[in-house]
Homo-oligomer: A and B are copies of this chain.
């Protein structure tokens, strides 16, 4: 039996594109796709965000929640809330986007830390039980993303299933390891 890691609760300082704050707890029983990005990360802009927007539209009538997470870990002053709001408007993003809460220690924000993300874009897919079924740094093909979200939507919601905080999470490995910090075609690394 595979044990999946439980998805930690989000630490969001402010939500945009949604009237009410969102918690993972309240989305139990639904699939959640978390898209971690930075507004000045080239691969996020060219691939990740258009993909998230298309996913949001494709699953509009189903119990699937596409959530953006602005996980700024560099150049904080030029990617603040005011800049993000303009960015969201110019790029016509319509799904809820949370601003990851800055850490009191270090440059990496809180949710990004707890999910142990390696950079942006990262996509995290969470099942109806609140378990992490995919955590992927960099580009993921549309066909593969559609597949996993489709599978999780079709899975039954087992309310009595107990999940353990195991680290046996089934995680896609990026094809090429990168040694250095910075942005390339894969994305921006911590």
Contact = CB atoms under 8 A, between A and B. Distances in A.
B142 A141 contact: yes
Contacts of A107: none
Interface residue SS majority, chain A? helix
A24 interface: no
Contact of A86 (B78, B86, B152): B78
Contact of A75 (B45, B46, B86, B146): B86
A147 B144 contact: no
Interface stretch (A14-22, A50-58, A95-103, A162-170): A50-58
A30 to B, nearest CB: 15
Q: Among the interface residues A46, A142, A149, which one has the most CB atoms of the partner chain B within 10 A?
A: A142
Contacts of A150: 146-151, 153-154
**Of A77, A142, A143, A150, most B-chain CB atoms within 10 Å:** A143
| Shortest beta-carbon contacts, A-B, top 10 | A146-B146, A150-B150, A154-B154, A142-B142, A147-B150, A78-B83, A146-B147, A150-B151, A143-B146, A151-B154
